[in-house]
Amino acid sequence: MATSKRTTMAVDAAKATTQKLYKSGVDIKGELFRAVLLLSIIVAVGMLGSLIAYVIWRGWDRLDWNLFVNNPSSIFLDTAGFAPAIVGTIYVMLGVLVTVVPIGVSAAIYLEEYADRTRWYNRLVEVNIQNLAAVPSIVFGILGLAFVVRGWLNLGFVAFAGSLTLAMMVLPTVIIASREAIRAVPPLIRQASYGLGATRWQTIRHNVLPAATPGIITGTILAMSRAIGETAPLLLVGATTFVLFTPESPFEGAYSAIPVQIFQWAARPQDEFRILAAAGAIVLLVLLLAMNSVAIWIRARLTKDT
Amino acid sequence: MTPKKKGSSAKEQDPAMVRVDRSADAGKVDQSTPLVPIIRTEDLSVSYGDFQAVEDVNLDFGKNEITALIGPSGCGKSTVLRSLNRMNDLIPTARVSGSVHYHGADLYSEKIDPIQVRRHIGMVFQKPNPFPKSIYDNIAYGPRVTDMKVDNMDDHVEQTLRRAALWDEVKDKLKNSAIGLSGGQQQRLCIARAIATNPDVLLMDEPCSALDPVATLRIEELMIELRENYSIIIVTHNMQQAARVSDRTAFFTVSIDEDSGDRTGRLVEFGATSHIFIDPSDKRTEDYISGRFG
Ligand SMILES: Nc1ncnc2c1ncn2[C@@H]1O[C@H](COP(=O)(O)OP(=O)(O)OP(=O)(O)O)[C@@H](O)[C@H]1O
Ligand SMILES: [Mg+2]
């Protein structure tokens, strides 16, 4: 079959075009970059993973019922437990929740919906909230000691003092997260509400808050999960003692908290205590994981709905 | 300014109107029809910060009429519309001067409560914006927040939806989320929601610009029905739509100051739609309507 010159040329041109579509060797820079990224992830996940693996390996045997129901003991090491610390953590965290949500959400509503940003005092508050979020937790511990345990409130070394101290610490987080959630409510929805003759408060109450609630809950849980693992500020406001009994209430009696108890035990030389500390760390990790999962789940549902 | 005969003459001359058989009842007004104003603006000017968006608008909006605001983008149609029910108050930089008279009151006087104004002068927006609530709750929202005396909310919701010609489509799913409706249904729901509080004026800012032609026609039909009981002011970029539904048309344009280069919106011409679309007095109106400008 004779092919004319024109046809050959056309075929060659077509081939050349096709050639361009094929990969031209390996993209070395690109591959290298990918390898570096992968390595970073492996290091990060690896460190976390080995930490978790180590804690589980050390503490697994003591992860029994005794751990949850028994009091700490220096004598019966095999059956000693975390009970007061668990109750203490529950008290402390409940206290954080009931103080931080109303204050944080109200502050966020004020800043987003009412504050006139051209006023200097509103800008001052804004800047300060950003800064407060970056203050080291030990500073809140000192504040708590000075104003909550002693000073103005004079509560003494009780669980609620720990609550207020941690609440101060996570308040900026809750305010910032709530503001973001409130800001994310579409302006169209607000306009619709105002256009129907709703007042500002009605608009907030019926439209802004319901739409912002999942975001507020997510932010609150994340803030709580930060508070639940805090040790340093609690050490300053009373949770130092080796508590042998559950505190009577958030407002009376010495208290401890899970991370503080872990700290206590980890500092002791005997191996049994170290194992107990590892078991406690597992409990704390599971709690944290559960809280963060709920937060992620709520956020996922939120994005699915809209 | 010779008075024109209504409807029929418009049909023959304006290609935009030929296809539309409803133009007969749309153009119920001609130049000689007396205007009974429900809203009147006097030297209305609006600025955003240092920027003068519109200046010296003097307009009468007729009772039980549909008034169309047309003009090129940025000439201040939405700005004027928003100043009629104090929605501009929501924009922190907006400043309004001049006056807007409504039922003998100046809406911008100190004594006026903007919340009450919006209860009487409702608004429908460019993009359908139903609340992420049930269809029922969307309708009931206005009456609830305004403490309207409603004997039976179920009946009121039904009547409102009937007036908005939406009842048959949604009567079986009143408890479903309004977000599940089609765009056109959502917009009609928004209109229904706006009339649920029994306002007497409805402001609509390009209510059909997000909708397909069929949904657009349904809304236009609805507007013509609603004109019986409401006064409607609509902003539109669609010349055919203005010609089809409106009784009177106001044409705005942007005037550019030769020295400073400032762009300010101004009212050019106002008159019966049949007049504006067939025999405009101003060259700029003619150019705009015939598509030579804007
Ligand atoms: N919130 C605002 N802040 C500052 N300037 C604004 C604001 N809203 C509108 N403007 C300006 O005011 C002028 C008029 O705007 P407006 O939205 O009223 O025009 P329009 O005629 O409705 O235009 P379009 O047809 O595009 O909707 C424009 O120059 C616009 O940029
Ligand atoms: Mg506009």
Q: How many independent structural domains does chain A possess?
A: 2
Structural contact between residues A181 and A306, judged by C-beta atoms closer than 8 angstroms? no
Q: How many CB atoms lie within 10 A of CB A44?
A: 10
Task: Decide if B10 is inside a domain.
Answer: no
Task: Decide if B269 is inside a domain.
Answer: yes
Q: Are A165 and A20 members of one domain?
A: no
- The closest residue, in CA terms, to atom 16 on ligand 1 is B76
Structural contact between residues A238 and A250, judged by C-beta atoms closer than 8 angstroms? no
pLDDT of residue A177: 93
Task: Decide if B49 is inside a domain.
Answer: yes
Query: From ligand 1's centre to the CA of B267, what distance in Å?
Result: 15
The predicted model gives A5-15 an average pLDDT of 79
Q: Are A75 and A165 members of one domain?
A: yes
pLDDT band at B170 (very low <50, low <70, confident <90, very high): very high
- CA pair distance B219, B206, nearest whole angstrom: 11
Q: What mean pLDDT is reported for chain B?
A: 86
Percentage of chain B with pLDDT > 90?
A: 60
Domain enclosing residue B71, as ranges: 25-129+203-289
Task: Decide if B9 is inside a domain.
Answer: no
Task: Decide if B233 is inside a domain.
Answer: yes
Domain boundary among A61, A76, A109: A61
Task: Decide if B198 is inside a domain.
Answer: no
Q: Does A194 sit within 8 Å of B87, measured CB to CB?
A: yes
Q: Are A97 and A226 members of one domain?
A: yes
Task: Decide if B14 is inside a domain.
Answer: no
Query: From ligand 2's centre to the CA of B238, what distance in Å?
Result: 12
CB pairs under 8 A between A and B: 65
CA dihedral A4, A6, A11, A17 (to 10 degrees): 170
Q: Are A110 and A15 members of one domain?
A: no
pLDDT of residue B82: 95
Domain enclosing residue A79, as ranges: 66-305
Domain boundary among A61, A80, A106: A61
Q: Are A92 and A155 members of one domain?
A: yes
CATH number where A72 lies = 1.10.3720.10
Which tops the pLDDT comparison, A270 or B8? A270
User: Is there an atom of ligand 1 within 6 Å of B294 CB?
Assistant: no
| CA distances from residue B39 to A120, A135, A236, A250, B97 in whole angstroms, order as listed | 40, 57, 68, 63, 16
Q: Is the dihedral of CA B32, B38, B44, B47 positive or negative?
A: negative
Q: Is B66 helix (H, G, I), strand (E, B) or coil?
A: strand
| CA distances from residue B13 to B247, B270, B281 in whole angstroms, order as listed | 17, 20, 17
pLDDT of residue B294: 45
Helix and strand totals (H; E) in chain B? 13, 10
The predicted model gives B210-223 an average pLDDT of 87
For a pocket test of ligand 1, which of B51, B82, B83, B95 has the largest count of ligand atoms closer than 8 A to its C-beta? Answer: B51
Structural contact between residues A211 and B132, judged by C-beta atoms closer than 8 angstroms? yes
Q: Any CB–CB contact under 8 A between A303 and chain B?
A: no
pLDDT of residue B156: 94
Q: Are A170 and A295 members of one domain?
A: yes
The predicted model gives B230-237 an average pLDDT of 94
Cα–Cα nearest to A250, from A98, A81, A100? A98
The predicted model gives A44-53 an average pLDDT of 92
Query: From ligand 1's centre to the CA of B145, what distance in Å?
Result: 30
Q: Are A50 and A173 members of one domain?
A: no
Classify burial at A267, counting beta carbons within 10 Å of its beta carbon; exposed 0-12, middle 13-18, buried 19 or more. exposed
Categorise residue B261: left if φ over 0, alpha if ψ from -120 to 50, beta otherwise: left
pLDDT of residue B2: 43
Give the type of residue at B131: F
Residue of B122, B127, B130 lying closest to A195 (CB–CB): B122
Q: How many independent structural domains does chain B possess?
A: 1
Q: Is B163 helix (H, G, I), strand (E, B) or coil?
A: helix
Q: Write the pLDDT tens digit of every residue in B71-98.
A: 999 999 999 999 999 999 989 899 999 9
Q: Does A197 sit within 8 Å of B145, measured CB to CB?
A: yes
Q: Does A306 sit within 8 Å of B115, measured CB to CB?
A: no
CATH number where B255 lies = 3.40.50.300
Q: Are A30 and A131 members of one domain?
A: no
Structural contact between residues A284 and A262, judged by C-beta atoms closer than 8 angstroms? yes
Place of tokens 């035990």: A265
Residue of B116, B132, B142 lying closest to A196 (CB–CB): B142
Q: Are A101 and A38 members of one domain?
A: no
Task: Decide if B212 is inside a domain.
Answer: yes
Q: Does B193 sit within 8 Å of A196, measured CB to CB?
A: yes
Q: What mean pLDDT is reported for chain A?
A: 85
Q: What is the pTM of this model?
A: 0.79
- CA pair distance A179, A209, nearest whole angstrom: 11
Which atom of ligand 1 is the closest one to the Cα of B265? Answer: 14
Q: Any CB–CB contact under 8 A between B81 and chain A?
A: no
Most confident by average pLDDT, A28-32, A60-64, A250-254? A28-32
Q: Are A41 and A79 members of one domain?
A: no
CA A87 to chain centre: 21
pLDDT band at A4 (very low <50, low <70, confident <90, very high): confident
Domain boundary among A43, A61, A79: A61
Q: Are A48 and A70 members of one domain?
A: no
User: Is there an atom of ligand 1 within 6 Å of B73 CB?
Assistant: yes
Whether ipTM tops 0.90, in short, is no
Which atom of ligand 1 is the closest one to the Cα of B93? Answer: 3
User: Is there an atom of ligand 1 within 6 Å of B74 CB?
Assistant: yes
Pairing of strands B248-256, B263-272: antiparallel
pLDDT band at A2 (very low <50, low <70, confident <90, very high): low
Query: From ligand 2's centre to the CA of B142, what distance in Å?
Result: 24
- CA pair distance A231, A257, nearest whole angstrom: 8
Q: Are A129 and A272 members of one domain?
A: yes
Q: Any CB–CB contact under 8 A between B193 and chain A?
A: yes
> pLDDT at residue B20 above 90?
no
